[in-house]
Amino acid sequence: MGLLDSFNFLSQKIMQHILVLGAGLSSSYLINYFIKHAPAYNWHITVADASLETAQQKINHSEYATALQLDATNEIAIGKLVQSSDIVVSLLPPTLHVLIAKQCIALGKHLVTASYITDGMKALHEEALHAGVLLLNECGLDPGIDHLSAKKIIDDIHAKGGEIISFKSHCGGLVAPEYDDNPWNYKFTWNPRNVVLSGQATAKFLNEGKLKYIIPQHIFEQTEPVTITHYGEFESYANRDSLSYIEPYNLTKATTVFRGTLRKKGYCQTWNLLVKLGLTDDTFTVANIHTMRALLHALVPGNNVDELEQRVCAFLNITATSNEFEKLKWLGLFENSQLENAEATPAQLLQQLLQVKWKLQKSELDMIVMKHEFVYELNHSAHYLTSELVVKGENEILTAMAKTVGLPMAIATKLILQNTIATRGVAMPLHTEFYEPMLAELAEHGIQFSENTTLLPQ
């Protein structure tokens, strides 16, 4: 028995306390994992949420867990909870993470989140290092599993002496094909507001050695076609900032770096029509508009309400028999049914409509799709490597999204508690010590990538 093993053995004898802040949508898998492993690892889990009932539902009377009510803005209450735990997993809104991270530093506790590293979080790096604390962020799906899987491939290629020329990565949360029964081939499986406001900042990426910018009015026009084995044709629209991945991923020699969001083929073209209509605009509030038809009437040139359909077709340069127009009609854009909240932005009104039309029903399952594409040179040959992941939800609560966001955090938490992680400070899971054990255990849970490499013609 080596020194580290002895230490692990010992540490497992002492009870370890895991504090889970927030018991929302993405917490089920994570909490189930902790409770399942609690007896073996001698863990106790405290789940704190704004709603005591929600927290109680999630721990489901487990003897290894405690449910608490928590006001996430109450610093003193959070401080007490952090103090009495060994590690903190936060599923709270990202804006609260800097505050929690500060308490973790002060009290010498590690923190795990699935959120992007903000400037505020980044600024805590030195302090966290000094306190010997790990603030592990971007440890969910995207960001999270994308880091683990992409970085492992990158490190492997580099280890073989290869050089990466091109990296493209795509990810999307969609409805499983069995339940894909609407003309948009999309249902909400995550925060609807984020979907409606997606693509409203200029996208930056690198393409064949050149910086590329796509302004919001063109984002859904300039998509990349993506095929997923057995799952057909998708399209990927550019994410806000692909350039920020170049350094952490060690892609400084790549001439193409692109990250995008996946939708089924055809979605973006019609979404772009909603953008053109002004229905995704979140910058102004409409007044005295009580139906979607009235909103559309206000946004499209012309005055004849009876000819609204023809006016929309002319404005968008589409025909009334087109696929696109059918999709718009299917959404109910031309209907006279009363809107709930009339004092709202067009984006808010569109969201109200979509939440009804794109609702994932209780019996329906979601699906996560991720694909990395690499071109690399090795031994004077160019190789094309793809790595694909498809995960389907198990049921209404154990969704693919909850699973792929929650499990990486849960596994990372276990690894940290087992003292196998040397990283300290503000970090993303980009190193071998994260991706090797995490990808291995994710595979055991069915989260497994399929890789394929072909030689490109000279």
Write out the residues near a second copy by the rule CB under 8 A: 201-202, 204, 207-208, 210-213, 215, 217-218, 222, 276, 278, 281, 283-284, 286-289, 297-299, 301, 303, 346
Least distance (Å) from a second copy to the CB of residue 299? Answer: 5
Phi-psi group of 388: left, alpha or beta (phi > 0 → left; psi -120 to 50 → alpha; rest → beta): beta
Phi and psi angles of residue 430, each rounded to the nearest 5 degrees, phi first = -110, -5
Nearer of residues 5 and 306 to a second copy, judged by Cβ: 306
In angstroms, what is the minimal distance from the CB of 117 to a second copy?
20
- Is residue 411 within 8 A of residue 429, CB to CB? The reply is no
Look at residues 303, 282, 298 and name the one whose alpha carbon lies nearest to residue 350: 282
| 320 and 311 Cβ atoms separated by less than 8 Å | no
Q: How far is the CB of 438 from a second copy (least distance, A)?
A: 34
Please give the structure tokens belonging to residue 203. Answer: 């996208």
Do residues 79 and 9 lie in contact, with contact meaning Cβ atoms separated by under 8 Å? no
Residues 6+ apart with CB under 8 A from 260: 168, 169, 170, 223, 224, 226, 236, 237, 238, 239
Burial of 402 (0-12, 13-18, 19+ CB in 10 A): buried
Q: How far is CA 364 from CA 125, 178, 247, 393, 395, in A?
A: 42, 8, 40, 9, 8
Nearer Cβ to a second copy (69/207): 207
- Distance in angstroms (rounded) separating the CA atoms of residues 50 and 55: 8
* Among 169, 147, 156, residue whose Cα is nearest residue 435: 147
Instruction: Identify the CA nearest to 270 among candidates 185, 356, 370.
Output: 185
142 is catalytic: yes
Choice among 142, 155, 181, 366 that is catalytic: 142
Q: How far is CA 199 from the centre of its chain?
A: 15
- Per-residue tokens: 327: 């999709």
Residue whose C-alpha is closest to residue 327's, from 381, 277, 262: 277
**Which residue has tokens 């209780």?**
362
Catalogue the active-site residues: 142
